[in-house]
Amino acid sequence: MTDKKDDQILRDTIVKVDLGKLKHNMKLIEDMVGPTTAVMAVVKANGYGLGAVGIAPALMESGASYLAVATLSEAVELRQNYPGYPLFILGHTPDRLLPVVVEQNITQTIFSMEQAKIMDDAYAKSGKTAKVHIKVDTGFHRLGKMPSPEYAEEICQICALEHLDVEGIFTHLALVNDEEDEKQYDLFMNFVEKLESMGCSFKYKHMADSIACVDFPKYRLDMIRPGALIYGMRGFHKGFLPVEQAISFSTRISQLHQVKAGEGVSYDYMWKAPKDSVIATLPFGYADGYPRNLRDKGYVIIRGEKAPLVGVLCMDQCMADVTDIPGVSEGDEAVIYGDGSDGSMTIEEASKLAGTNKNDVIARIPARPPRVYTE
């Protein structure tokens, strides 16, 4: 996939995605885990802001065993674009919509016999075998049930349903500390061992996300579920993988203003020029996912120089002080997020300044800024 033509890009504010870096990161991940561990590429929340439909081919070409999303709506969008590729829903799908999951040939997370029966019964209408992974709660208390004799018996009954393919079983780490991680691991593995002794079998057993798959090789099992790691977000603490940030965010100057000393800028004049200044209006704001609390902390890179954002950040626009940038002109590119090589703000730096995590910063970028894909 290549750059869109200029006449197809209807805004100056764009998200650039380097598919080459995605493929590079996927190769690093696959080399790390080896051929016996499958990689489920997590593309929920519109591919963490990169655009799920746009990045899917790069992940498929790189050998992802599944593309995983959080909701049925996300899965259906991918299914419409990629009819035959394995898709997985990590989250809950309401009972009334489970027949749609079967009809669309999507693998679903379940945790009850009621869900299993609905999907098994859907075979009569679709003629398609329903494929599921069973969620086990090992202490995160989000989805699934805690291991118990009753849950073990329920899972065995689910596995016995004629038109249901119980392909996998999984849990999720709370990542509190090493001791708590190990408790969850032991609880999960002991429960799976119990189920296997009762006659159940699972192609995939999985529990490791982006952080755990790097930090804890033991937790990789048959499958890992990297998301942020694929996009170049480094959240690991013990291990290391040289993944590269695959996303950048940029815009162009709309207008330049000559502002006299003492004059205010933006709502409530929260910022006033300390001297005669040149202020650039930039066509992006918090409706483009930029954290509003970066007022007086955020900056952009223009002509290789840092231009601090000044005044209250607006929904669709913001202002930057470009007084000290020689030759600055309307139409100049302003890098909002970059890889840091040009002095630009990285996703990691933005997350720290905003008091949040890296996933929040990129996932909050909505569909409004066009995505431009390059190799």
Residues 61 and 176 in one domain: yes
Q: 294 CB contacts (<8 Å, ≥6 apart)?
A: 309, 313, 350, 353, 354
Residues 129 and 210 in one domain: yes
Active site residue 44: yes
Domain at 139, CATH number: 3.20.20.10
Residues 151 and 95 in one domain: yes
Ligand-binding site membership of 234 (annotated): no
Active site residue 267: yes
Residues 151 and 49 in one domain: yes
Residues 195 and 294 in one domain: no
Residues 281 and 183 in one domain: no
Residues 131, 164: Cα–Cα separation, whole Å: 6
Q: Which tokens in the block code for residue 251?
A: 């815009």
Evaluate whether residue 328 is within a structural domain. Answer: yes
Check: CB of residue 145 under 8 Å from CB of residue 109.
Answer: no
Burial 285-315 (b: 16+ CB within 10 A, else e): bbebbbbeebbeebbbbbeeeebebbbbbbe
Widest CA span in the chain: 79
In this prediction, residue 4 carries a pLDDT of 55
In this prediction, residue 125 carries a pLDDT of 85
Evaluate whether residue 88 is within a structural domain. Answer: yes
Residues 105 and 162 in one domain: yes
26 phi and psi, to 5 degrees?
-60, -40
User: Structure pTM?
Assistant: 0.94
Residues 208 and 256 in one domain: no
Residues 120 and 254 in one domain: no
Evaluate whether residue 2 is within a structural domain. Answer: no
Residues 37 and 164 in one domain: yes
Residues 227, 68: Cα–Cα separation, whole Å: 9
In this prediction, residue 1 carries a pLDDT of 41
- Give, for all 375 residues of the chain, the pLDDT tens digit: 444 556 689 999 999 999 999 999 999 999 999 999 999 999 999 999 999 999 999 999 999 999 999 999 999 999 999 999 999 999 999 999 999 999 999 999 999 999 999 999 999 888 888 999 999 999 999 999 999 999 999 999 999 999 999 999 999 999 999 999 999 999 999 999 999 999 999 999 999 999 999 999 999 999 999 999 999 999 888 999 999 999 999 999 999 999 999 999 999 999 999 999 999 999 999 999 999 999 889 999 999 999 999 999 999 999 999 999 999 999 999 999 999 999 999 999 999 999 999 999 999 999 999 999 998
Catalytic residue among 125, 203, 267, 269: 267
Domain at 277, CATH number: 2.40.37.10
Ligand-binding site membership of 142 (annotated): yes
Residues 228, 209: Cα–Cα separation, whole Å: 9
Residues 321, 275: Cα–Cα separation, whole Å: 11
Catalytic residue among 23, 44, 205, 358: 44
β-strands 305-310, 318-321 pairing: antiparallel
Residues 13, 370: Cα–Cα separation, whole Å: 7
Location of structure tokens 């392909």: 167
In this prediction, residue 2 carries a pLDDT of 43
Mean pLDDT score of the chain:
96
Evaluate whether residue 10 is within a structural domain. Answer: no
Check: CB of residue 109 under 8 Å from CB of residue 101.
Answer: no
Which structural domain range is residue 341 located in? Answer: 247-345
Q: What are the CA-CA distances from residue 41 to residues 37, 62, 171, 234, 318 (Å)?
A: 13, 10, 16, 16, 35
Q: Which tokens in the block code for residue 107?
A: 């693998």
Helix (H, G, I), strand (E, B) or coil at 318: strand
Total structural domains within the chain: 2
In the sheet where 247-252 sits, what is the strand order? 255-259, 277-282, 318-321, 305-310, 299-302, 333-337, 247-252, 14-18, 371-374
224, 257, 291 - which closes a domain: 224
In this prediction, residue 5 carries a pLDDT of 58
Residues 217 and 266 in one domain: no
Evaluate whether residue 47 is within a structural domain. Answer: yes
Check: CB of residue 372 under 8 Å from CB of residue 5.
Answer: no
Check: CB of residue 158 under 8 Å from CB of residue 111.
Answer: no
Evaluate whether residue 331 is within a structural domain. Answer: yes
224, 258, 289 - which closes a domain: 224
Residues 363, 345: Cα–Cα separation, whole Å: 16
Q: Which one-letter amino acid corresponds to residue 231?
A: Y
Residues 179 and 319 in one domain: no
209, 224, 239 - which closes a domain: 224
Evaluate whether residue 130 is within a structural domain. Answer: yes
Evaluate whether residue 242 is within a structural domain. Answer: no
